[in-house]
Amino acid sequence: MTAPTPPAELPRTVDAAASEEADAAEPSEDLGKTRQAPSFDEASRQTVIPGGSAGVTAENTGEVPNPDDSQTKTRRLGPFTMGRRLGVGGMGVVYAAKYTKGDRRAVAVKVLTPSLAADPKVRKRFNREMEIFKKLRHPHIVRYFGGGQTGGKLFYAMELLSGGSVEDRLRETGPVDWRRAVDFAAQTADALHHAHAQGVIHRDLKPANLFIDSKGNLKLGDFGIARDANATALTAAGRTVGTYAYMAPEQISSALEVGPKTDLYALGCVLHELLTGRPPFSATNPAKLLHSHMTEPPPRVRSPDCPRWLADLVDSMLAKDPADRPFDALAVRELLRERAEEEATRSVIGRTAAAESTALGATVSEVRTQRDAARKLLGRKKKRKRGPAVPIYERAWFLGLLLVLMAGGATWAMWPPGEEELYDQAAALMASDDVNDWRAARENFIDPLLERFPETEHAPELTAWIDRIEVDILRRQLRTQAASVFASPRNELERQYQEVERLADFGDYWGAADQVNVLRDLLKDNAWTKREEIGADNARYYGLLLDQRAAELESELRDDTLGRQGFVADSLRSAERAFAAGRVGEAREKWTGVVQLYETVPELVPQVEWSRARLAGQSPPPPAFLTEPTAAPEPTGKDEPPPDGPAPSNSEAAE
């Protein structure tokens, strides 16, 4: 069976009202049996999630539905007919299912466990998982089809894969061949590179979350505890999330920031397990296992057929300090592919050379036998043998020529690239949309070009490229800072800039644009540089960033017809509709946003007071700004009478 593609009719989001009939058909009784608590050897490979009691998972609540029960009626969930249970994760249960519309494609449906669904934080995390899945489209990431809520149950549908997981493969066959391990790791690194480029850190990479399709390709799944750097953090400070056996030191301690290299550590653990059959650290005690990740050097991969470079790569990925790990997932992917190709080429050359040597030996022997037979028939005597011939590679003239060629080659290889060559290499990388290419361009070509040729005619363009790189770095730093529970703004400018992003994330581009203009004016007056909060160079990059954001916000507002007050009123009307539909969490999120963002804005005091009242559970009379706007009447034809009656006669019109 091949992994299905999404049916054309499958909606991206299935709303609660999408299938009242399905809700009515769904049995209300709770099905399932209480499972025995897992041993720590099994539990050390389970995901730890925050929220509720420590260590709560879908599996150990004892409330896992079991559609395999022969006495169970056919279960429906929204537009899906539920089948057998495929697995249990930290927050939910995954079932095989069929889409009831179109061609009834087979899919996998993940359902939030009933006991966890009562926790608002867990529900929010489940919704965040869906939001993350929506923006990840990659050949090596499990494909998301759509999701929503029906009958009070949160769920989403995704690609159904038939090849099991890497954990299943390891359990069945043990360690895999190093070439297969490299292939798996390269595909995983490719998926991580895409996720990291979207600002998503998986935080729970392990063999159980790596799935295999019918063609043997790998797909990364289960983003249940993934962190989106562009969204509000859901994990409180000091909380550990992840799976013990694959957890990076920075996930255990808050001394270092969790980032993309956290996933590289987990990938190193997975690669170690693929090559040896076990993760780098194991223990029967959780504290001892976490302590090993923090302090003990990882065991070296020792396998007769494992290349040394691969063992070195695993060691570097398992470095305690993220700065000592590879630069990013793309670097890991390229290294794995390049070295694997080199090994394959070397193997082919070796086999070819051996075959040619054998064939050549047989031919020489055959020629000698034929020559001796011919001499015997002709009655010729063999010539007297001369002294041993000197091989050509031992003759003086050949050695001298070889020395000259080697010296010339070394000089050519060490000769530094010229100005135009450096510029061309930099331009090619800066034309990319990948920020990693930009940084490589600066390190390898732009900075060396400016250092060796300070008077270059390309100086203006090189400066513009450096500005683009620095602004991108600054913007990413501020985004990461806003999403982190450990980092705080370094100065007042950064604190006020965070307000710009909060307003923009809420959808208030008017407020964000006003805040940007205030900050631009303060920068022009040197308000912060005079207080030495930021240097002149940094002020320039902040100014470029603000100019960039101003242009983006202006583009967003170009076709706006609501205005700021209209936007806030529209948000509050949307909150009331959500509340009426039973989506209380969504409504409270909008009311909270209005209070937090506009409590100091004089013209929005009525909207803030209304939001506060609704958050307190009050239901005051609806103010005028909650009235839904009426659409303008459609234009009528010449011969069509107006809505209120027939057209007046000429005499009536004259009167």
Q: Is the separation of the CB atoms in 267 and 205 below 8 Å?
A: yes
Q: Where are the beta strands (DSSP E) in 447-526?
A: none
Lookup: tokens for 137:
């489209």
d(CA 233, CA 615): 22
3-state secondary structure of 151: coil
Q: Where are the beta strands (DSSP E) in 248-362?
A: none
CB atoms within 10 A of CB 520: 16
d(CA 28, CA 19): 16
Give the residue ranges of the annotated binding site for ATP: 110
Which residues on neighbouring strands pair with residue 219, listed in sequence order? 211
d(CA 452, CA 416): 10
Q: Is the separation of the CB atoms in 155 and 111 below 8 Å?
A: yes
Give the residue ranges of the annotated binding site: 110
d(CA 574, CA 628): 10
Q: Is the separation of the CB atoms in 201 and 195 below 8 Å?
A: yes
Lookup: tokens for 180:
């297969």
Backbone angles phi and psi of 191, in degrees to 5: -65, -40
Backbone angles phi and psi of 366, in degrees to 5: -65, -40
224 to each of 112, 128, 217, 541, 591, how far by Cα in Å?
11, 8, 22, 36, 26
Q: Is 469 left (phi over 0), alpha (psi -120 to 50) or beta?
A: alpha
d(CA 523, CA 529): 8
CB atoms within 10 A of CB 321: 10
d(CA 98, CA 10): 11
User: Which run of H or E residues covers position 80?
Assistant: strand 80-88
